[in-house]
Structure 1
Amino acid sequence: MATSGLAALVAGPEAREAITRVAFAEAGNQGDSGLAAVVYTILNRVQDGRWGATVEAVINARGQFEPVMRAGGDWRRLPASTVAQRARIETILNLSLEGRLPDLTNGARFFQNPQIVADRASRGEVSEGLVNFGNTGPSAVIGAHSFYVEARSAGGRGTRAPAPTSTPRGSPAAAAWQSAGGAIFVGDNRAVGPEVPPSSASPNGAGQGSLRATPVTDPGRAIFVVGPGLAAGSDQ
């Protein structure tokens, strides 16, 4: 990636802030591996070129990242990143661009939480064909998320984006999302788990203060390990 010209596209502060906001909106509770996987999916899409020639174009592409769609189609409307969040994504980006962090997704350009998509399909909110993108084999499974190099429609053909196969019976927002060609991240795909009690607020506001220690199953897989069974948190 360092020699592909991609480094120049993600060098600016706007591009990096966009990646940070989306990565945490999509996988903020999936640990560093989950964050890195989302970052790589974005980078792979930028390299691919089908969703735009810049980071911001890729992230704002219509109907692709649901947090962006819910924010009106502009990543700038997502919550601003904190100092700790930026540090984590900067580390992931820099290691990736230097060739020191392998692509955990094996080249993925799509991802979803299959369980949440299946639940939505069972309620008639989305097409059954969106579950695993028409039974597409994942290139990686990281936490609650499955990643895919390409997505297929229910008919099994390779597609640039998952095509809608029926009119959703859910909310107008769901209809707008599906009519746009489907999202790579269907629904609120964060894994359901115990909430970690928030630390005391910093007197200087969001983005200030020290990193919060968060219990993790495998701290050895985290980039910032702060103690036995602990990794750096995401909200301070």
Structure 2
Amino acid sequence: MESALRIQVTGPEAREAIARVAYAEAGNQGDSGLAGVVYTILNRLQDGRWGTTVDSVLNARSQFEPVSRVGGDWRRLPAVSSAAQARIDTILNLALEGRLPDLTNGARFFQNPAIVADRARSGQVSPGLVNFGGAPPSAVIGAHSFYVEAGRGGRSSSGRALRSQGVAPIARTDVMFVGENRADPAPVADSAPALESSPSGDPAGDPSRRLFVSHDGRISADHP
């Protein structure tokens, strides 16, 4: 990812902010669901329409429902545990290192369509909010559907239509399979302090072994 984005999410407050919002939005959706929200935040940062800082993106008016419910400031959301923070730090580190693909396929919006549809039926919200105006999702992860654009028939800013059919749901799991790890050992130790307690036999230098992220934020070569 771009160096400017790395700088924006390097500080502890920025990472705490992302963790609080990700858990408020998808704390019950497993690692893949959390990663989907994290990538949506990163994609918005790169886009620039919601500001160029983590604060401005997360506190943007009427964008993240949990933030809106507490008055528009992510700092009023409940703090997360150290294990939960390590989990988000791991997702961020892997994403920034290019070792975790964007499961959302570039999404900048997401919703729980079942909840939005229920609210529309009861008159709480406009029916037009369901699936953001009928936009086909770029990904479905657990209960959340993700979208590159809202209210544009699913088209990206480049005008390319997204596939409206065949979007395979990503199963929610407690352990997220990242894939074959082809990173050198040194950057892992330097850029991911939360991973220092990884089991012995660090898989970072062995590209033939697979990499998993466990529920407590640790990296392992084998499924726990």
Q: Same fold (TM over 0.5)?
A: yes
Offset from partner CA, 1:188-234 (integer Å, 9 cap, x none): xxxxxxxxxxxxxxxxxxxxxxxxxxxx974553689xxxxxx6369
**Aligned match of 2:96:** 97
**Aligned match of 1:27:** 26
- Which amino acid is the alignment partner of residue 151 of structure 1? A
Percent identity for Structure 1 against Structure 2 = 70
| Native 8 Å contact 1:62 1:69 kept in 2 | yes
**Aligned match of 1:54:** 53
**Aligned match of 1:10:** 9
**Pairwise CA distance, 1:6:** 0.4
- TM-score under structure 1 normalisation? 0.67
**Aligned match of 2:176:** 221
Q: Is the aligned partner of 1:232 residue 2:187?
A: no
Aligned residues, how many?
170
| Native 8 Å contact 1:63 1:69 kept in 2 | yes
1:140-151 maps to which residues of 2 (within 5 A)? 140-151=139-150
Over 3 Å counting, the alpha-carbon distance change for 1:35 and 1:217 in structure 2 is: closer
| Native 8 Å contact 1:150 1:159 kept in 2 | yes
Q: Is the aligned partner of 1:81 residue 2:73?
A: no
1:181-192 maps to which residues of 2 (within 5 A)? none
Q: Distance in 1 between matches of 2:17 and 2:121?
A: 33
- TM-score under structure 2 normalisation? 0.70
Q: Distance in 2 between matches of 1:217 and 1:130?
A: 25
Over 3 Å counting, the alpha-carbon distance change for 1:217 and 1:119 in structure 2 is: closer
- Which amino acid is the alignment partner of residue 17 of structure 2? A
Over 3 Å counting, the alpha-carbon distance change for 1:217 and 1:41 in structure 2 is: closer
**Aligned match of 1:207:** none
**Aligned match of 2:161:** none
| Native 8 Å contact 1:108 1:147 kept in 2 | yes
Q: Counterpart of 1:147 in 2: which secondary structure?
A: strand
1:40-189 maps to which residues of 2 (within 5 A)? 40-152=39-151
| Native 8 Å contact 1:32 1:222 kept in 2 | no
| Native 8 Å contact 2:148 2:155 kept in 1 | no
**Pairwise CA distance, 1:62:** 0.6
Q: Counterpart of 2:140 in 1: which secondary structure?
A: strand
Q: Distance in 2 between matches of 1:151 and 1:106?
A: 14
| Native 8 Å contact 2:19 2:85 kept in 1 | yes
| Native 8 Å contact 1:42 1:58 kept in 2 | yes
Q: Which runs of 5 or more structure 1 residues have no equivalent in the other structure?
A: 161-215, 225-230
**Aligned match of 1:37:** 36
| Native 8 Å contact 1:33 1:222 kept in 2 | no
- Which amino acid is the alignment partner of residue 31 of structure 2? D
4+ residue runs over 2 A deviation: 156-160, 216-224, 231-234
| Native 8 Å contact 1:36 1:104 kept in 2 | yes
Over 3 Å counting, the alpha-carbon distance change for 1:219 and 1:75 in structure 2 is: closer
Q: Which runs of 5 or more structure 2 residues have no equivalent in the other structure?
A: 158-170, 179-194, 196-213, 218-224
Over 3 Å counting, the alpha-carbon distance change for 1:43 and 1:125 in structure 2 is: same
| Native 8 Å contact 2:29 2:172 kept in 1 | no
Q: Counterpart of 2:80 in 1: which secondary structure?
A: coil
Over 3 Å counting, the alpha-carbon distance change for 1:159 and 1:101 in structure 2 is: closer
Q: Counterpart of 1:81 in 2: which secondary structure?
A: coil
